[in-house]
Amino acid sequence: MSGRALSFGSVADAYERFRPGYPVELVDMVMQYAGQPVRTALEIGAGTGKATRLFARPGVSVTASEPDGVMLAELRKHVPASVRTVQAAFEGLRPGEKYGLVYAAAALHWTEAEGRWSRMAALLEPGGVFASFGGPIQLADPAVKEAVRVARAPFLESDEIPSPDGTPPEHDMQWPGTELRRSGLFTDVRQSMIRRRLTMSGRDYVGQLSTISAYLVLPPLEREQVLRQIARVLPETVEVAADLTVHLARRCSEQLDRRWPSGQGLEGLQKPIP
């Protein structure tokens, strides 16, 4: 797991304060896709629980996994007591327990590419659902967006994370849908968009930037300088596009049965925590 992936604990409070939550429309979309009641769910990279509290609805037993102990401690302040928490990276989750739903909220890109989908399939019940969702928060006003780019440029060329598999942004199917289709372990791969426009103060927008990994890995002095420069060019309030790209897929039981004959379960592909 990269340094950027483990950089959030130092700003757990700000992450909770400034990162926007998720709309109810999202969980409704996932549950409708499932087509049957989801009783158990596992969240990968739960952070401070922005998505956890949405999915922890009555009748759904949620396990929230997060590698950073500080982030997990913040999460526990905001989610129902019924949520089970596990401090572990995706690659360190113990095999054996299976879930009706495994989901990742703006966190899947931090997982290791090698073995990603066999591990994911191993965590799902036959016919279980995988969901991934997230997207950048972008300034809606082109002039303000350009002013911020110029202010940021001496420190960072970009603060976004490129597609993990190099899929160009103009392609109809984006990552991780591209990998899900290639894996042969999932079926009915779908991509949807939830459009959102939010208004926040310029101060809160800078607060949100302060929780982005590209800024967190800068030397402290540079981080302070670039955020100050950005704050100077922002109006008092800003409108942002916070669109969510949602990917859904279903574990393909038939493919799994052919690849792993009886007696050779997927669990063997995962290594337990030492």
Contact 217, 3 (CB under 8 A): yes
> Count of CB atoms within 10 A of residue 228's CB?
11
Structure tokens at 102: 């495994």
Enter the tokens of residue 187: 């079926």
Say if residues 274 and 239 touch (Cβ distance below 8 Å): no
Residue type, 9: G
Phi and psi at 189, nearest 5°, equal -75, 125
Whole-number Å distance between alpha carbons of 128 and 146:
43
As a three-state string, the secondary structure of the chain is: CCCCCCCCHHHHHHHHHHCCCCCHHHHHHHHHHHCCCCCEEEEECCCCCCCHHHHCCCCCEEEEECCCHHHHHHHHCCCCCCCEEECCCHHHCCCCCCEEEEEEECCHHHCCCCCHHHHHHHCEEEEEEEEEEECCCEECCHHHHHHHHHHHCCCCCCCCCCCCCCCCCCCCCCCCHHHHHHHCCEEEEEEEEECCEEEEEHHHHHHHHCCCHHHHCCCHHHHHHHHHHHHHHCCCEEEEECCEEEEEEEECHHHHHHHCCCCCCHHHHCCCCC
Interval 141-157: pLDDT, tens: 999 999 999 999 999 99
- State residue 8's pLDDT score: 63
Contact 228, 154 (CB under 8 A): no
Q: What is the pLDDT of residue 9?
A: 64
- pLDDT score, position 263: 33
Task: Write down the pLDDT at residue 262.
Answer: 34
Dmax (CA) for the chain in angstroms is 63
At 96 the pLDDT is 83
What are the domain boundaries of the chain? 9-135+166-196+242-269, 138-161+198-240
pLDDT at 266: 39
Res 257: pLDDT: 41
Domain 9-135+166-196+242-269, CATH number (from 1.10.8.620, 3.10.580.10, 3.40.50.150, 3.40.50.2300) = 3.40.50.150
Q: Do 89 and 6 touch, CB atoms closer than 8 A? A: no
Q: What residue ranges of the chain have pLDDT lower than 50? A: 1-6, 255-274
Q: Rounded CA gap, 272 and 52, in Å?
A: 24
The pLDDT, as a whole number, for residue 260 is 38
Among residues 200, 97, 216, the alpha carbon closest in space to that of 139 is found at 200
**Distance, CA of 134 to CA of 111 (rounded, Å):** 15
pTM of the model as a whole: 0.89
